[in-house]
């Protein structure tokens, strides 16, 4: 992404398949775009849970020989970018623990807004935390539950947490999965060869040849029991559900892979539709349209089709450079952008260019990319953004800047245009998103655009204190 929105996380689990670990490995590859900081797999072998985690990409953490040594009929995997908790091995997931009810491994995508309050209470009651991740709070709540049945204990733990969570857990008996009552984060269910598969996105199901069964609903808990012999058994329990769901709208704008479908809506098609709306909302005389690779390419192609302007590959991406937000200092981020993106000078020299991007957060990278195009000879650069101005920080699992660092916070669009050096700047509005995406999805979270948080965030703390 072009402007320091940090990733969410990816979850993938398989229950009831002899090659469960291998399938989770491939599923994590498909979800690598959701987290590039650490990766881990926990697996059940003879009813005992073992795990391996490491910092880096899936390919770094799991060389072929490592996967070959890991066998089991149920497995849980996670790729992470931290939104609460530091970047260190202790915070890599799945987090595996031993407690009085047995072994347990947890993988979480989201952010708990009452984690500080719960952690403080648990520590005063004697809990000793091993990580700085808010996900560990869930495990301590689970361990303190007096319920003998793990599903009842799981539900009791979830009833105490607030915020965003799509999570899965591996137990000696199988897999548990759940989504928060608002459904902030995506999680879907599939099936292959009689085994059940849980994935953050449908592209993960495609990677292992699984059939899409359906979305896990907000507030729903899934239990897949895997007996020593015989078919795995699925149980679905509907818990408390918010009156209006609040799926993170950035799944369609940026996070999800273009080949994923969420609630029956293909992500690529949705982004193209946003691009078409953008062309109608911000028409401009130009010679070519280009997008910032990769998340903006679908919107750029939609813009070009609607506007009747040629779509060109004005920026070339070096796919062997990591995402720019990983660099800790702005100077390093700018150098990483220069290494990652290079303008195609022969195409843009002397041309009026429409640059389509998915969002502007701080504005620093947008300014740098506009500068790249101008240095390549672009006569004009017209920026079109397929989302509204980003004015408020997210507390539900996207690690953005504090409000004071957001480019659009407290200033108008024209001031942002001047700051990034564009000739013109046009955003989509929240109503545009509602009209285009709301045909399939019942409700979205737009809090980063309008500051209307579906769950109270007053106890969430600062972004620096801000999981998974």
State the Cα angle at 203 between 199 and 205, rounded to 5°. 55
In the residue annotation, 9 being an active-site residue is answered as yes
Q: In the numeric block, which tokens belong to residue 281?
A: 């909302």
Expressed in angstroms, the distance from the first to the final Cα of the chain is 19
Question: Contact, 308 vs 283, CB < 8 A?
Answer: no
Helix, strand counts (H, E) of the chain: 16, 23
Buried b (16+ CB within 10 A) or exposed e, 214-229: ebbbbbbbbbbbbeee
CA–CA distance, 420 with 407 (Å, rounded to integer): 10
Max Cα distance, the chain (Å): 72
Enumerate residues 6+ apart whose C-beta is below 8 A from 76. 11, 12, 13, 24, 41, 42, 43, 94, 105, 107, 168, 169, 170, 175
Distance of CA 43 to the CA centre of its chain: 23
Question: Hey, which bits of 147-255 come out as E strands?
Answer: 163-171, 174-179, 188-192, 195-199, 211-215, 220-225, 233-238, 247-248
**Does residue 168 have a cis bond before it (omega within 30 degrees)?**
no
CA–CA distance, 110 with 108 (Å, rounded to integer): 6
CA–CA distance, 394 with 451 (Å, rounded to integer): 9
CA–CA distance, 294 with 407 (Å, rounded to integer): 22
Catalytic pick among 9, 188, 248, 445: 9
Distance of CA 178 to the CA centre of its chain: 16
Q: In the numeric block, which tokens belong to residue 47?
A: 């009813």
Enumerate residues 6+ apart whose C-beta is below 8 A from 106. 93, 94, 95, 135, 138, 139, 167, 168, 169
Residues carrying an active site annotation: 9
């Amino acid at each position: 992404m072009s402007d320091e929105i940090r990733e969410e996380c990816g979850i993938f689990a398989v229950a009831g398949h002899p090659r469960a670990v291998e399938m989770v490995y491939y599923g994590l590859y498909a979800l690598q775009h959701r987290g590039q900081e650490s990766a881990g797999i926990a697996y059940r072998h003879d009813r005992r849970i073992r795990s391996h985690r490491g910092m880096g990409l899936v390919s770094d953490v799991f060389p072929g020989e490592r996967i070959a040594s890991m066998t089991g009929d149920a497995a849980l995997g996670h790729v992470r970018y931290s939104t609460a908790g530091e970047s260190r091995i202790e915070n890599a997931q799945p987090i595996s623990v031993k407690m009085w009810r047995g072994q347990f491994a947890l993988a979480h995508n989201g952010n708990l807004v009452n984690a500080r309050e719960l952690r403080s209470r648990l520590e005063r009651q004697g809990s000793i935390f091993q990580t700085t991740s808010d996900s560990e709070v869930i495990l301590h709540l689970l361990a303190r539950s007096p319920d003998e049945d793990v599903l009842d204990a799981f539900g009791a733990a979830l009833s105490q947490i607030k915020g965003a969570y799509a999570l899965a857990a591996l137990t000696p008996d199988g897999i548990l999965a759940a989504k928060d009552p608002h459904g902030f984060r995506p999680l879907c269910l599939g099936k292959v060869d009689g085994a059940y598969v849980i994935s953050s996105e449908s592209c993960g199901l495609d990677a292992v040849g699984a059939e899409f069964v359906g979305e896990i609903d907000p507030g729903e808990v899934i239990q897949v029991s895997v007996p020593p012999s015989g078919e795995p058994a699925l149980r679905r329990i509907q818990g408390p559900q918010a009156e209006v769901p609040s799926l993170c709208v950035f799944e369609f704008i940026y996070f999800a892979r273009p080949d994923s479908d969420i609630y029956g809506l293909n992500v690529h098609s949705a982004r193209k539709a946003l691009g078409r709306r953008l062309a109608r909302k911000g028409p401009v005389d130009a010679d070519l349209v280009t997008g910032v690779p990769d998340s903006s390419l679908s919107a750029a192609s939609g813009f070009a089709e609607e506007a009747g302007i040629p779509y060109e590959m004005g920026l070339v991406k070096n796919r062997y450079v990591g995402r720019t937000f990983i660099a800790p200092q702005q100077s390093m981020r700018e150098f990483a952008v220069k290494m990652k993106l290079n303008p195609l000078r022969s195409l843009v020299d002397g041309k009026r260019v429409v640059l389509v991007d998915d969002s502007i957060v701080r504005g620093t990278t947008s300014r740098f990319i506009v500068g790249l195009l101008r240095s390549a000879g672009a006569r004009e650069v017209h920026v079109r953004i397929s989302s509204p101005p980003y004015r408020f920080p997210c507390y539900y699992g996207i690690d953005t800047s504090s409000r004071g660092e957001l480019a659009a916070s407290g200033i108008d669009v024209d001031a942002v245009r001047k700051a990034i050096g564009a000739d013109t700047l046009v955003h989509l509005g929240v109503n545009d998103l509602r009209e285009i995406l709301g045909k399939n999805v019942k409700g979205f979270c737009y809090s980063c655009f309008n500051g209307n948080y579906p769950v109270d965030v007053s106890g969430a703390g600062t972004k620096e204190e801000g999981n998974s």
